[in-house]
Amino acid sequence: MLEKFYPDKWVDSAYEIPYEKLYEQGIRGIIFDIDNTLVPHGAPADQRALALFERFHRMGMRTCLLSNNKEPRVKPFAEQVDSLYIHKAGKPGVKGYERAMERMGTDRRTTVFVGDQIFTDVYGANRAGIRTYLTKPIDPREEIQIVLKRYLEAVVLFFYRRRQRRG
């Protein structure tokens, strides 16, 4: 029952994912959440984010930022990293993920999603049939509604880890 919330991979950071290897495997598009995935909540793109997106541009990898935030938050970040974006995406609904793939010119087999929340990011991407990477949140200080969801996420991650150990 909880499997629909499980990520394909759980990593410490979006910055440790082997993107070049994914490219070699045929991945051509990456959909990212922004807040607490790439930068702390509300922060502009930092040097690390700029360097990461520059790597994508050099590789020929397409990117799209998919955020439930409003455009004044998402558009400036997208402009900084030169990425496509969708604001007010309605995650975990699948339409935003589908629109992101359409804009990037990719499909479910050639796209991955990277985000820090199980019940919006991972669940939505799983529903859309996209391979998922769950990251640990960058900043532990979060809005109260997210803090409350983190307690429920801990339960899901407990069973996820147990399943991973069993192989």
Instruction: Annotate 30-65 with three-state secondary structure.
Output: EEECCECCCECCCCCCCHHHHHHHHHHHHHCCEEEE
Cα atoms found within 13 Å of the Cα of residue 102, Cβ hemisphere only: 8
**pTM of the shown model:** 0.92
CATH numeric code, 2-166: 3.40.50.1000
Domain ranges across the chain: 2-166
Q: How far apart are CA 84 and CA 78, in angstroms?
A: 6
Q: Phi, psi (5° rounding) for residue 67?
A: -135, 145
pLDDT tens, position by position, 75-101: 999 999 999 999 999 999 999 999 999
Tell me the per-residue pLDDT of 20-69, one tens digit each, with 9 for 90 and over. 999 999 999 999 999 999 999 999 999 999 999 999 999 999 999 999 99
